[in-house]
Amino acid sequence: MKVNAPAPPDDTPAPARPPAAPAASPESRQAETNARVAGATAILAAGNILSRALGLMRETVMTYFFGATAAVDAYQVAVIIPKAIYDLLIGGHINGAIVPVLSEIVTLKGRTELWRVVSLLLSLAAVALALLVLLLQVFALPLVQLTAGGADAATLALAAELLRLTAPALVFMGLFAVLSGTLYALKKFTLPALAGLVFNGCIVAFTMLFAPPLRPTLAPGFTLEPLAPLVLWRDPQGVTAVAAGWLVGALAQMLLQLPALRGSHLRFSLHWRHPAFRSIALLYAPVMFSLVMDTLIIRPFSYNLASQTGSGSIAYMNWATTLIQFPQGLVATAISVAILPTLAGQAALVSAEHRRAFKDTLGLGLRLATTLIVPATAGLFLLANPIIALLFEHGAFTVADTNITALALRLYLVGLPFAAIDLLLVYAFYARKDTLTPALVGILSLAVYMVVAVALLPHYGLFSLMIADSLKHIVHALVAAVLLRQRLQGFARQRLIVTALKALAAAAGMMAAGMLLLPLLTALIGTQGLLREALLVLAAGGVCVVVFVALALWLRIEEFTWALRLVRGRLLR
C-alpha cells in the first residue's frame, strides 16, 4: 500500500503586509481639532465682519434719513417684539438645546435619525410661530404700549402698524434657526455665516429704494413713485420701508440655508414623543426661564427706563449696542459657535482622553477670545467718537448725538471682555447638556442689572443702563468661571491668566500710543467733516494695530502667533 508522504514544509515567505499606520496621538488629534475650530472661526468671523459692516451701513442709512427721532423709536419697538419672542422660543435655544442634541445624534446615530429630528423641529416651529403671528396682529397696540409706555400716542400707533408688518418674519426666523442649527451640528458654517449679510442687505436696499426722503434726490426727472404700492407704508417719514426690509431679510436668510441641505430627507411631522424632542425640552426648560426674565421683563424694563430719559434715548441705546456687537460677533460669537459642535461631540464620549480634549478645546477658545477681544475693546474705546462721527454724523444726526452715543458705547465696553469670555463658558455648560447652571447664574446677574439700573437712574439717566449692563456681564462671567472650574475639576493648566495678562499689557501699550497720537493727528489734519473722521480712524487705527501686533509678538502671546501662522498658511495655500 502506498502511503503519501507529508508535503515538505513551505519555506516561501508570506507576502509582506504594509505596516499599519500608527494611531494618531492625542496631541495630533487635538491639533487637528484646533485647526478645524480655527477654520470654522475664520468663516464665521468673516461672515460676521460682512454682516456687521452692512449692519453699520443699515444704521448709517437710518440715521441719515430719520436721525434720533420718534419714528426710529417706533421702528425699534416694532422689531424688538418679534425678535424677543424669537429669542424666547427658538433663537435662545439653538446653542443651548438644539445644537448639542443634534451634534450628539450625528456622532452616535447618524444622519438618518438626524433628518427625523430636524423634520419634527421644523414642523413644530412652523405651526407654533404661525399661531403667534396671528396673535401679534390682534394685540399689536397693547404690546407696544407695554414695551414703550413712556412714548407718546402717535409713536405708539406707528409702532403698532409697523409691528403688524414685521410679525410674519417670526415664522421665517424660526425656520432659519432650526436649519442653521442643523448645519452647525453637521459642521457646515458657510451659509449660516452669510445669513446676517443677506438680512442686513435687504434692510439697506429697501430703505434706500423706498424711503420717501430719498426719492427726489435720485436723479433729475426720475422717481420711484410707481413702486410705492409695493410697500404699504402709512407714516409720512417712510420708516415703514425699513420694517418691510426687515421682513424680506428674514425670508431671504432662511432660503439661503436650503442649498446646503440638498439630499436631506425632510418631511412634515408632529411626532413630539420622539426621545430627542424630550431631550431638547429638558435642556430647553432652564434656558426658557432665564429668557423669559430677559425678554419679557428685562428688555421692556430697559426700554421703559430709556423712554423716560428723553426722546431718542432708545435710539442711542441701540446704536451703541450695534457698535459693540461688532467685536462681540467677530470674536466671541464666532469662536463660541465654531467650538460648540466639537465640544458637544467630545462631551458625548466619556473616555478620559475625550475629557482632556474637552478642556483643551475650551482652553483654546478662551485664550483665543481673550487675545482678540481685549485689543478690540481698547481700540473701540479709544476711537469711539471718530468712529461714530464717521458712521452716523450725517444728515439729521448731530455732534451732540455723537457725544451721547460715544459715552454710552464706552460704558458698554467695560463689560465686553467679560461678556466674550462668558459666552464661551456658557457654551461649555451647554455642550455638557447643563443648561440649568447658566440659567441660575443668569437670574442672579439680571437681578444685579435691575437693582443697579434703578439705583443709578436718578443720577446718571440713560447711562445707568450701560453701567448696569457691564456689571451684569462681570458678575455672570466670574460666577460661571468658578462653577465650571469646579465641574471640570480644574482647567488642566490652560495658561488662561498668563495669556490674559499679556493681552492686557499689549492692549495698554497700544492704547497709550493711540492717546498720544490722536491729538497730534487732529491738529495735523485740521479738516472738518467726514474726511477728517475717516483719516483719524484710518491713521490712528492703523498705528494701534501695528503697535499691538509688535507688542504681542514681543510678549510671545502664543495664540496670537498661532493665529497669524494659520492665516498666513491659508493665504499661501
pLDDT band at 215 (very low <50, low <70, confident <90, very high): very low
Position 59, amino acid: E
Distance CA 549, CA 503 (A): 11
Predicted local confidence at residue 402, as pLDDT: 87
- Helix (H) or strand (E) holding 502, with range, is helix 496-525
CA dihedral angle for residue 210, residue 318, residue 441, residue 341, rounded to 10 degrees: 40
Distance CA 51, CA 198 (A): 8
Q: Which residue has the cell 404690546?
A: 143
| pLDDT exceeds 60 at position 40 | yes
Tell me the range of 28-32, 177-181, 398-402 where mean pLDDT is highest. 177-181
CA distances from 18 to 11, 15, 184, 225 (A): 21, 10, 38, 76
pLDDT band at 291 (very low <50, low <70, confident <90, very high): confident
Predicted local confidence at residue 494, as pLDDT: 76
pLDDT band at 345 (very low <50, low <70, confident <90, very high): confident
Domain ranges of the chain: 69-264+273-285
Mean pLDDT of the chain: 80
Predicted local confidence at residue 146, as pLDDT: 81
Predicted local confidence at residue 295, as pLDDT: 67
Least confident of 4-8, 239-243, 331-335: 4-8
Tell me the range of 32-36, 79-83, 103-107 where mean pLDDT is highest. 79-83
Distance CA 443, CA 449 (A): 10
Distance CA 38, CA 17 (A): 38
**Tens of pLDDT, residues 49-98:** 788 778 778 877 877 777 767 778 888 888 888 887 887 777 766 777 78
| pLDDT exceeds 70 at position 352 | no
Higher confidence at residue 448 or residue 43? 448
**Tens of pLDDT, residues 298-329:** 878 888 888 888 777 888 888 888 888 878 87
On whether the CB atoms of residues 417 and 507 are closer than 8 A, the answer is: no
| pLDDT exceeds 90 at position 448 | yes
Q: Which residues is 222 bridged to in the sheet?
A: 219
- Nearest Cα to 304, choosing from 317, 288, 289? 317
What 3-state DSSP class applies to 239?
Answer: coil
Distance CA 437, CA 443 (A): 10
Transcribe 303-364 into DSSP letters. HHHHHTT-TTHHHHHHHHHHHHHHHIIIIIIHHHHHHHHHHHHHHHS-SHHHHHHHHHHHHH
Predicted local confidence at residue 25, as pLDDT: 63
> Hey, what's the cell of 516?
498720544
**Tens of pLDDT, residues 478-500:** 999 999 988 888 876 778 889 99
Predicted local confidence at residue 467, as pLDDT: 95
Predicted local confidence at residue 414, as pLDDT: 94
Distance CA 101, CA 104 (A): 5
| pLDDT exceeds 90 at position 271 | no
